[in-house]
Amino acid sequence: MTIAMLLTAALPVAALALIYARREYRWRGRLSWLGLSLLIAMLLIPNLALDYATTYEWPRSATDYAGIAVGTAGIVLLVFSLSAFRSMTKMLCLDQGELTICGPYRFSRNPQYVGYFLFLAGYAMNDLSLWCLAVLAIVAVSLHLLVLIEEEHLKRVFGDEYAEFLRRVPRYFGRPVNRSERDRF
């Protein structure tokens, strides 16, 4: 399988996964195993494409070392974000549980996706090419669309609690707004 074939497969798989996830969140209020499997495929295919696009070697340049730092930071953020869920079924979107607003979720509503993207970006920095940029673009768009679907679902499920979370915490990364600062405006 070539990189072009993987990237060609990534687009329809991502579209199908996102459409199916949105349908399940609206009708069932959670993902099924099929919906979860489609989302995993949506994320796995670009990983495979990135693996085919790069030839990893020991770091030789400042960009390589920066890539290692960015990728490592992404993995650390991803692990801390997923551990904040404290539930495997909640982490896998199979159970809604309670709204997670602790740990990295104080600074980002989606730190798990930020971490995942940083990991891939760091990996891509070790062998920058148009293929790597194409993979990163597909991942960025797919994750953003998934975030919009999840936000729609979380607004329905958590109502005012999530609306307050939206007002306080940025979607991807930034400084949280505390109540006293927000009330000044």
pLDDT in tens, 65-96: 999 999 999 999 999 998 988 777 777 667 77
pLDDT at 152: 94
pTM score, whole prediction: 0.84
Q: What is the mean pLDDT of residues 137-165?
A: 94
Contact call for residues 120 and 67 (beta carbons, < 8 A): no
Interhelix angle 62-85/111-125, rounded to 10 degrees, is 160
> What CATH number is associated with residue 154?
1.20.120.1630
pLDDT at 183: 46
- Nearest-CA neighbor of 174 among 100, 113, 111, 120? 111
Q: Other CB atoms closer than 10 Å to residue 181's CB: what's the count? A: 11
Count of domains in the chain? 1
Interhelix angle 111-125/130-168, rounded to 10 degrees, is 160
Domain encompassing residue 123: 3-184
> Which structure tokens are listed for 37?
């499997």
Q: How confident is the model at residue 151 (pLDDT cuts 50, 70, 90)?
A: very high
